[in-house]
């Protein structure tokens, strides 16, 4: 909300990605400006030179290689546009591939607030605290309608869609607080759906996290749900029902009954819980009930975290007996 070089015309970018967007924007502006000027000058020149009654020559056009001229400018424009497409496309695509080590924050949007949760548990409403110079991956979903997560200073905007997980990532390189807006008209109080992203030094962030009320982390909350919703009754090693063990499946490819293979990630686990018939694991009966309408988005996030972490903590089999 404050920073060096700020003016009413220009909000300085607080991420490297953001500065890349700025360069692209300025380049497009300059290019359009140049083309506008060239067209304007030619228009005025010709309109004056060939105005009614002027004695400018009006005979045959000079035979100066007209075909080459046409081919030349058409090709030049074509390659210019291909280059612009590549430039904008690659900068946009970079926003889809977060670095492996990125810190993961869960965002759940609803009318009319953003709820965020840190990997170690702390939650915030309409606020997000993150450390500077650290890649942060946002895994987002909505409890009701489409919202959009927009931080102008990061040049970052992505829709948050009910029933789906969307991701973006950023790495802030300046500390400070920055506006967060919902950028998708989502109902009466859409304009009030705002918040603040606070970028802190690494030390301040560690201290901030320590000062938060200590709840369970996402994985632990997920473990409790896994037991209370009855998942463990089928999926635990000791269960009488024949269901696949979920321990360590995260990030692996599993075979499906239809012969294809699928990567176990957020999308797959989510769909397995909500639409178990869609992708049935090979060698198992499709007896898992759908939990659509039973588990909330928040609960899904926790279950997914639990299954992901179970690969490292190795405790899915043990939970049923507890």
Give the residues lining the site for ligand HEC (CB under 6 A): 229-231, 233-235, 241, 243-244, 246, 249, 254, 269, 272-273, 276, 280-281, 284-288, 291, 303, 307
How far, in Å, CA of 11 to CA of 156, rounded? 13
Residue 187 vs 286, nearer CB to ligand HEC: 286
231 binds, among ligand HEC, Cu ion, none (CB under 5 to 8 A by kind): ligand HEC
Q: Name the minimum Å distance from CB 103 to Cu ion.
A: 24
233 binds, among ligand HEC, Cu ion, none (CB under 5 to 8 A by kind): ligand HEC
Which tokens hold the place of 54? 């002027």
Bond from prior residue into 156 cis (ω within 30 degrees of 0): no
Contact residues for Cu ion (CB under 5 A)?
147, 182, 186, 193
DSSP H helical segments within the chain, as ranges?
16-49, 66-94, 202-211, 218-228, 231-235, 266-274, 297-313, 316-319
CB of 113 to Cu ion, least distance (A): 9
Cβ 77 to ligand HEC shortest distance, Å: 51
| Partner interacting with residue 186 (select from ligand HEC, Cu ion, none; CB below 5-8 Å by kind) | Cu ion
Nearer to ligand HEC, 184 or 266 (CB): 266
- The entry of ligand HEC, Cu ion, none near residue 147 (CB within 5 to 8 angstroms by kind) is Cu ion
- Strands 113-117 and 103-110, by their bridges, are antiparallel
Tokens of 214: 């200590």
How far from 41 is each of 30, 38, 120, 203, 291, CA to CA, in Å? 16, 5, 62, 57, 66
Least Å from the CB of residue 209 to Cu ion: 27
Complex with ligand HEC: residue 21 or 288, whichever CB lies closer: 288
Q: Which does 139 bind (CB under 5 to 8 A by kind): Cu ion, ligand HEC, none?
A: none
Q: Please, what's the b/e burial string for 29-49 (b: 16 or more CB within 10 A of its CB; e: otherwise)? A: eeeeeeeeeeeeeeeeeeeee
Contact of 166 with 184, CB cutoff 8 Å: no
């Amino acid at each position: 909300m404050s920073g060096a070089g700020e003016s009413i015309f220009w909000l300085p970018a607080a991420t490297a990605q953001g500065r890349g967007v700025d360069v692209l924007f300025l380049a497009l502006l300059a290019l359009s400006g140049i083309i506008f000027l060239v067209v304007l000058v030619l228009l005025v020149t010709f309109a004056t030179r060939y105005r009614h009654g002027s004695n400018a020559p009006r005979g045959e056009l000079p035979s100066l290689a007209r075909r080459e001229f046409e081919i030349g400018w058409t090709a030049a424009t074509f390659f210019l546009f291909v280059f612009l497409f590549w430039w904008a496309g690659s900068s946009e695509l970079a926003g889809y591939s977060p670095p492996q080590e990125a810190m993961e924050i869960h965002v759940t949007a609803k009318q009319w607030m953003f709820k965020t949760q840190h990997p170690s548990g702390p939650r915030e409403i309409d606020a997000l605290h993150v450390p500077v110079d650290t890649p942060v991956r946002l895994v987002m979903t909505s409890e009701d309608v489409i919202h959009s997560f927009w931080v102008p200073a990061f040049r970052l905007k992505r829709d948050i869609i009910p029933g789906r997980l969307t991701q973006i990532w950023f790495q802030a390189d300046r500390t400070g607080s920055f506006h967060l807006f919902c950028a998708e008209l989502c109902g009466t109080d859409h304009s009030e759906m705002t918040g603040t992203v606070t970028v802190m030094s690494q030390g301040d962030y560690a201290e901030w996290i320590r000062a938060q009320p200590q709840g369970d982390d996402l994985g632990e909350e997920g473990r409790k749900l896994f037991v209370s919703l009855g998942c463990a009754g089928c999926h635990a090693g000791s269960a009488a029902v024949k269901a696949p063990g979920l321990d360590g499946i995260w990030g692996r490819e599993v075979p499906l009954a239809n012969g294809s293979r699928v990567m176990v990630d957020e999308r797959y686990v989510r769909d397995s819980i909500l639409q178990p018939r869609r992708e049935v694991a090979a060698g198992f009966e499709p007896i898992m009930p759908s939990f659509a309408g039973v588990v909330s988005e928040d609960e899904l996030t926790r279950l997914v975290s639990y299954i992901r972490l179970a690969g490292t903590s190795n405790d899915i089999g043990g939970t049923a007996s507890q």
